[in-house]
Chains A and B, each alone.
Chain A
């Protein structure tokens, strides 16, 4: 009875407290409320409110204790995770090791999942030692264990057994341990979460949070300007200048873990989109290191950052910005030098340049098509007649990965981006730089088919080194060799930007997540 009264009182209190409500405009919407359905940033970001993982990532993607209080490698192939005590799911059942084991069983086996969490769960054996201890075993030493485990949400075994994705979407099974609990999910319209009053950690600031997907950039900005939402993510670069000047708004920014770069054809002597000036065939000049260097030197990164990205980017010299694990302290962005580039072209035997087509998606990264166009302009000025072709991402990525007659990469020169989910350098090295190998799962996104045995060796060594200092050093050296060999051409790191009404503050995150737990009240 007292509980009922309290609830009534509470209802009254919350009705009067509109200030307790936070309204967020999202640039991209999650595809499901099932935390194991789709390994995609918008999903992971939103579901972080309802669910938690053993290991957390702070706003700089450094690992922090979450549902696990501590972890350590107890021998070469076993990691031990000590679970937090006195944690309860939203329905009141206590969180134990059984839920952990269950979650990692479920994660790789979700029916119809477009990109499952199998990559993080497979090859690992989860053993329940007691209610609050879990051992994870692998066949070979595996240093990235805490990183992997930070990617998989823990669901309630009681509600998760036999539950399918629609059960989560309806809210029936969407029971987690997170700071907020599921309240409403209307696909294409909004997602509402309510404060979890029994939360084990710091009490969440907001009583109720409403997320609305507003995909169109100007519409999202307009919604903020009109006061329909309190906070928006993915602020378009073009509006930044105006929003900064607006006294009613506040901006919050940080460098992201995403690099925008160019991949060049390293593997074909006759590359389909490289032609001689007269349109005839030419031996692929991109295989010549001097030509690759020339291309990199011809690009005015400062101009791209200031004119195309309007300052919402930082020019890049390697795969991840400084401060991340495993980056090289030595590498600097290549300086703009069109005359030097022309000289190098002459040395390489193509003084007058050649014809080249750059392919780029036009709806994947901020300003992607415009960046490609700027690169086209810059290359045309050193004699490389460049044609710019931009495609919608669904077409672009298929062609770029498997569009050739041999089911390999089709294009000769592409603009793409890469965000490191794990927040350290092995992620881009493994996927973009390592030699393409289907069986081993290496070089999966190496669409230029760059291949360097020395680099491969260092990456493999790093992936088997548990010692952090040694691993960091190996990753940095692998990066240096690959970048000096111009395996890829880095352009810039994106800057993540949030805009909010004055009186709100957001702790900006490198991983692009928009979390209500990071929103506070400023004064």
Chain B
């Protein structure tokens, strides 16, 4: 259906990608969000060049700077425009480095979980029978496991660290994708075009990838963006509960969690700025994902 729709409704000169871009940027909100996200990614990538201090080097950080107010001069000589956190890290440097970790952990675990979950969900929906039952029970099993328990067990066996948190996040998320994909695919499977494809005796692989997959993309993008954003926030929650990343290499989430205890004491900058950065990151991901969804959804085309 999508292939047919494309050939009918599009001028020949425009490639699908270009069409996508044109539609995407026709919304100024999405354009703004995309620019913001791009900016955030650049900041994260070039953190070591932009930060006045390496906040992960214990020899460079001193507790004597702890909780300095924004604009105060730290003992290393530079001005801490956003203040310092409870361990004496320059807030701005810590946020740049933290952004790197948060984005890395969130996106990587989101993408891997998406790929894994989609593959498993499609398999379950397409094959059906005992395999479907097995997979769905596995999904039940997975979803009944509180994320913190998975994380706690993994962290205890493997030790704390970004990679361990990622594994935990993948394990927590894949089942959501699998279940969503399967649900949508089951509905699609009953539709005429798939039945038609069956009648044409197309190979199963072709049916799954050319017909089933494109049609479950829309719900996947909704769930996917939400989950990636969720993963970043989940990582923060794990840190809040004390099972996340190592203390000396804080992510944005851990910075917020650490600052959380200062909330009532009036030292707002310790969790306010990282909170703002996290909010901006997650909002921009969500807005971009939202727009992509509208653009990609074949049924919303006219």
A contact set with B: CB distance below 8 Å: 217-218, 221-222, 225, 236, 238-242, 300, 303-304, 307-308, 362-363, 369-370, 373-374, 376-378, 380-381, 385-392, 395
28 contacts between A and B (CB under 8 A): A217-B261, A218-B260, A218-B261, A225-B264, A236-B261, A238-B262, A241-B266, A242-B265, A300-B64, A304-B63, A308-B86, A362-B242, A370-B247, A373-B87, A373-B247, A374-B63, A377-B63, A377-B88, A378-B63, A380-B57, A380-B59, A381-B62, A386-B58, A388-B58, A388-B248, A391-B160, A392-B152, A392-B243
By the criterion CB–CB under 8 Å, are A238 and B63 in contact?
no
B150 CB to closest chain A CB (Å) equals 15
**A418–B266 CA distance with the chains assembled, in angstroms:** 32
- Which one of B59, B86, B87, B262 lies within 8 Å of A381 (CB-CB)? B59
Give B219-249 as 1s and 0s: 1 = Cβ < 8 Å from A's Cβ atoms: 0000000000000000000000011001110
A307 touches B66 (CB 8 A): yes
In chain B, positions 38-73 with a C-beta closer than 8 Å to chain A are 57-59, 61-64, 66-67
A390 nearest in chain B by CB position: B247
CB distance from B281 to the nearest CB of A (A): 24
B62 and A377 contacting across the interface, CB-CB below 8 Å: yes
- Decide if B133 is an interface residue (CB 8 Å cutoff): no
Complex alpha-carbon distance, A150 and B260, angstroms: 40
Given A303-B63, A373-B63, A380-B57: 14 more A-B contacts, CB < 8 Å: A218-B264, A239-B264, A241-B266, A242-B264, A303-B64, A307-B64, A308-B66, A363-B242, A373-B87, A373-B248, A377-B61, A385-B59, A388-B246, A389-B246
Query: Nearest residue in A to B270 (C-beta to C-beta)?
Result: A238
Say whether B246 contacts A390, CB under 8 Å.
Answer: yes
Report how far A303 CA is from B86 CA in the complex, Å.
12
- Roughly how many angstroms separate A391 CA and B158 CA in the complex, as a whole number? 12
- A376 & B58 in contact (Cβ 8 Å cutoff): yes
**Chain B nearest Cβ from A374, distance in angstroms:** 4
Contact B265 A238 (CB under 8 A): yes
Is A222 in contact with B63, judged by CB distance below 8 angstroms?
no
Closest beta carbon of chain B to A290's beta carbon, Å: 22
Q: How far in angstroms is the closest Cβ of chain B from A361?
A: 10
Q: Which residue of B lies closest to A388 (CB)?
A: B248
Indicate which residue in A221, A380, A395 contacts B156 across the interface (CB closer than 8 Å): A395
A391 and B160 alpha carbons, distance in the complex (Å): 8
Whether, in the assembled complex, B263 has its beta carbon less than 8 Å from a beta carbon of chain A, the answer is yes
From the candidates A238, A240, A303, A376, name the one contacting B248 in the complex (CB within 8 A): A376
**Are A370 and B58 touching (Cβ within 8 A)?**
no
Indicate if the CB atoms of A307 and B248 lie closer than 8 Å. no
Give the chain B neighbours of A362 by CB distance below 8 A: 242, 247
Chain B 65-118 residues near chain A, CB threshold 8 A: 66-67, 86-88
Does B266 contact A242, Cβ atoms closer than 8 Å?
yes
Instruction: Give the residue name and chain of the B residue nearest to A360 (CB).
Output: B247
Asked if B211 CB lies within 8 Å of chain A CBs, one says: no
Residue of B nearest to A241 (CB): B265
**Within the assembled complex, what's the spacing in Å between the Cα atoms of A193 and B107?**
53
Knowing A369-B247, A374-B63, A389-B160, say if A307 contacts B261 (CB, 8 Å).
Answer: no
Say how far B69's CB is from chain A's closest CB, in angstroms.
13
Closest to B156 in A: A395
The interface residues of chain B lying within 8 Å CB-to-CB of A241 are 265-266
Taking a contact as CB atoms under 8 Å apart, the answer to whether A388 and B247 are in contact is: yes
Q: Which 8 A-B pairs have the closest CB atoms?
A: A380-B59, A374-B63, A307-B66, A380-B58, A242-B265, A239-B265, A307-B63, A377-B58
CB contact between A221 and one of B57, B88, B264, B267 (< 8 Å): that residue: B264
Q: Are B267 and A238 in contact (CB under 8 A)?
A: yes
Please measure, in the bound complex, the distance between the C-alpha atom of A101 and the C-alpha atom of B65, giving whole angstroms: 58
Nearest CB of chain B from residue A217's CB, rounded to whole Å: 6
Residues of B within 8 A of A240 (CB): 265
**Do A218 and B263 contact each other (CB < 8 Å), given the known contacts A373-B248, A388-B248?**
yes
Q: Which residues of A contact B64 (CB under 8 A)?
A: 300, 303, 307
Closest to A240 in B: B265
Query: How far, in whole Å, are A222 and B260 apart by their CA atoms in the complex?
Result: 13
Q: Is the CB of B156 within 8 A of A377?
A: no
